[in-house]
Amino acid sequence: MRSRQRMFAAVMRLLLKCLRLGRRRRFKLVRQVERLWHYGHLCLRSLLYNSFTNGDVVLDSLFEPVYWLVDHVTRWFGVVFVALVIGLTSSIVAIVYICLLPLILQTYTPAWICWHLAYGHWNLIMIVFHYYMAITTSPGHPPQAKNDLTGVSICRKCIAPKPARTHHCSICNRCVLKMDHHCPWLNNCVGHYNHRYFFSFCFFMTMGCIYCSISGWEMFRDAYAAIETYYQTPPPTFSFRQRAFHKSVVYLWVLCSSVALALGALTLWHAALITRGETSIERHINRKERQRLQKKGKVFRNPYSYGSWDNWKVFLGVDVPRCGRRGHHWPCPVTRWPAQHTFAKRI
């Protein structure tokens, strides 16, 4: 009996010893894993350390694949959008020549005919010229050569100095001088050298659409009334040519009036920005700055605004005494570059 008890006690001691040993080993393993984890974490932090890293940077990095996709799709669709603008504008011009012009020549007085011919063609030339210039003119990029520019910031993407009012376009993958926005309808950035062409194109396109909508209103009403009778019984006896005419006139009026409304609103918005001497990007930056200073009881002043009237003169490049330039740049087609002084801060 006693020997059994002794044996049992010996087994229990052995078991306890084994357990203690196992616990020690487990702790050792946990400590090793913990040490490895800390070491890996430290390595990762050392590799990714950046004093500018904040929540926005992390969010930007996470969304980087989405931005990449959007940029590439926009770049590719730019060609489609340009083809669409050219195709739709050509179709409207063709309808005006085939449907609207013969009617004007038959029914209007010689004075009205002259006015329609003069205004219509001048507006068309303006649209074509400014669109061509807006898509072919480079918006302007910072100089690549080494320079002694002081007080300029560095673009994080180009790792190159960028002058004031310059922003990086992720679609063009370049820094753009006085960048306003990247326009898919132009497949080009709107910046310092083509901002005027872009605005002029929007303005003349709106004017052209308004002109077509007003001139074609009577024809649209008649054509629409005729189309409504197509489904009556007995059906009216319209020839294929007449049906094509009705549908073309309705297409012209609906497209022109829709574009006049949408593009007119955009043109007004850009006109308001030009009056304030700021670009679309600066509008957001300046609003934030205005709110920040307002909280401190200070008033924000746009350093690139010369006053409403002078801002327009600078934009159109007409007779600004401060920059010593004279001449009419608008509303006739002009290919001269805008003044460089728009980068200089107002004194």
Applying CB under 5 A, the residues found at the interface with Zn ion are 155, 157-158, 168-169, 171-172, 175, 182, 189
Looking at beta carbons only, is 131 or 245 nearer to Zn ion? Answer: 131
d(CA 154, CA 220): 56
Contacts of residue 295, defined as CB under 8 A and 6 or more positions apart, other chains included, come to none
CB nearer to Zn ion: pick between 177 and 219 = 177
Where in the sequence numbering do the catalytic residues fall?
Answer: 183
Task: Name the residue nearer to Zn ion (CB basis): 173 or 229.
Answer: 173
Q: Which amino acid is at 325?
A: R
User: Within 13 Å, how many C-alpha atoms sit on residue 88's CB side?
Assistant: 18
Distance between CA 319 and CA 85 in Å, rounded? 33
Element (H, E) at 168: strand 167-169
Of residues 95 and 169, the one with the C-beta less far from Zn ion: 169
CB atoms under 10 Å from CB of 75, counted, come to 16
Eight-state DSSP code of residue 230: G
Q: How far is the CB of 164 from Zn ion (least distance, A)?
A: 14
- How far is residue 238 CA from its own chain's centroid? 46
